Amino acid sequence: MIEMLIKPKRAERRPWEMFFVGLFYASVSLLLVTFVFGKDSILKEGSGLLVVIFTVIACLPFMYYIIKLEEGKDVQINDSGRLIKEHSKAIHALVWLFLGFVVAFSFWYLVLPGSAGQNFNFQIKTFCAINSPSSYGNCIEQHGIPVGTGAATSGDFFLRIFSNNVYVLIFTILFSLALGAGAIFILVWNASVIAAAIGIFAKGELSGLGTGLMRYMIHGIPEISAYFVGALAGGIVSVAIIRRDLHGEGTWKILQDSLIMVIIAIVILIIAALMEVYLTPLLF
């Protein structure tokens, strides 16, 4: 029952409510893994993935119905400008949902320091592999690394960040095409990795949560918005195929809308990468 706390149409009218839904889903999932599955000597080794999986299970119905709602708009609305505006309502709601995930995961990472390395084990490994590949072992052992920004102004760093983000976008689009609402898995995973990074940046202190959120959300919000746009683009085509709406003039209309959304996502990723490389280091 908790997976349908809020309906898509209401979420588009009051998107900020999705923040609290995200908080609830992520918190319930993490506490469930900590106090139930964390007691099992085998299952606790996969706690980092279990947290993501349970959160995804709660979100799947909402994600499916909001994609279905947006696909219906493609069939009903002819004006491209109005259509993009309508889709932006869904993106707005999904971004609030994502923020709820990040805040909840970050909060519990700091409040439950003893289980942070267990519940975010895969996330910490991912963070270390990206940020400290040359001293990966030490990073894993310490559950975090110093946050350095010395190389953050190079053009090579921008290209590396942007190419990695485009790779994630492509994977999100393909995942949503194949599995529809299943693309939410990638987005929840990203939320958990960002939360681990915030926890590491805050050095285990709850007082550092606000600063950590600002550091990663400055470029994180536009970046994740691009992924949601891509997921919605792929999901719309997936649902159109299922509902057999890809026929006649409607085929090009739906495909054109999805293509425009992918282009918008790429533009947003360029802006997000510039912010991550040039703006964030100036502020933190």
Per-residue pLDDT averaged across 158-165, rounded?
84
- Which residue shows structure tokens 């994740």? 224
- Which residue shows structure tokens 């990206």? 130
Per-residue pLDDT averaged across 178-193, rounded?
82
- CB of 238 within 8 A of CB of 178? yes
- On the question of pLDDT at 100 being above 90, the answer is yes
* Token couple for 118: 């267990």
Per-residue pLDDT averaged across 226-246, rounded?
82
Per-residue pLDDT averaged across 189-209, rounded?
83
**What gap in Å lies between CA 15 and CA 252, rounded to an integer?**
30
Query: What is each CA distance from 148 to 58, 132, 165, in whole angstroms?
Result: 36, 10, 20
Q: Which pLDDT score is estimated for 148?
A: 44
**What gap in Å lies between CA 213 and CA 134, rounded to an integer?**
26
Amino acid identity, position 126: T
